[in-house]
Each structure stands twice: as structure tokens, then as C-alpha cells.
Amino acid sequence: MKYYNELIANIGRSMKAHPRSTVLMDADSFRIIAVAKDPKKLTGKFKRALAGRGHTVVFKQPDERAVWILATGSAL
């Protein structure tokens, strides 16, 4: 399996395992670094992860259907 597909599969699995939380994951090893319901609590660990050599991905499973269309001020 290609790396990107593996990354997507691991993100999907972690979302299901932690459906209400924001997850920090090492994108190289797919190891979960931290999980928290309030993303602000992850800020310190996220900065430490960014300071390291690896790649970090941050994500959260959507908890409801979303509708979003955005226009800029200049387009109004």
C-alpha cells in the first residue's frame, strides 16, 4: 500500500477510535502522540512535535454533517 493511502487509512481508524477528540499523530510512524477533546490542550505537544524531525498530522472526526460555502468580502 502506498504511504499516502496508509496515512489516510490510519487517520480514518484513529477518527473512529477517538470520535469526539482532536488527535495528534506522527505521520511517519502513525503513532498517536496525543488525544484531547479540547484542541487547546494539545498546543504544547503539537509545538514539541513540530520541533522534532518527524511529520505531524492533526485531525478530528466531524461530529455532524456540515454545510459550508464561503465568500470573501470582496465578492459580496
Partner 1 sequence: MTLVYPGLLGKPILIVSVEDLLSGNRFLFPMLLDTGADETCFPAKYAPFLGHSNLAPGVRKKRCRGVGGISIAYIHSVQLSLLDPAKSKKSHQVVAWTARAKVASFVQKLDIDRGLLGIDIVKRWKSVCIENGIKGMQIRIRL
Applying CB under 8 A, the residues found at the interface with partner 1 are 2-5, 7-8, 11-12, 15, 22, 27-29, 39-40, 42-43, 46-47, 50-51, 54-62, 66-73, 75-76
The CB-of-58 to partner 1 minimum distance in angstroms stands at 6
Distance CA 27, CA 34 (A): 13
Place of cell 477510535: 17
- What's the closest the beta carbon of residue 17 comes to partner 1, in angstroms? 14
Least separation in angstroms between CB 24 and partner 1 = 9
In angstroms, the Cα distances linking 53 to 28, 31, 41, 45 are: 10, 14, 22, 14
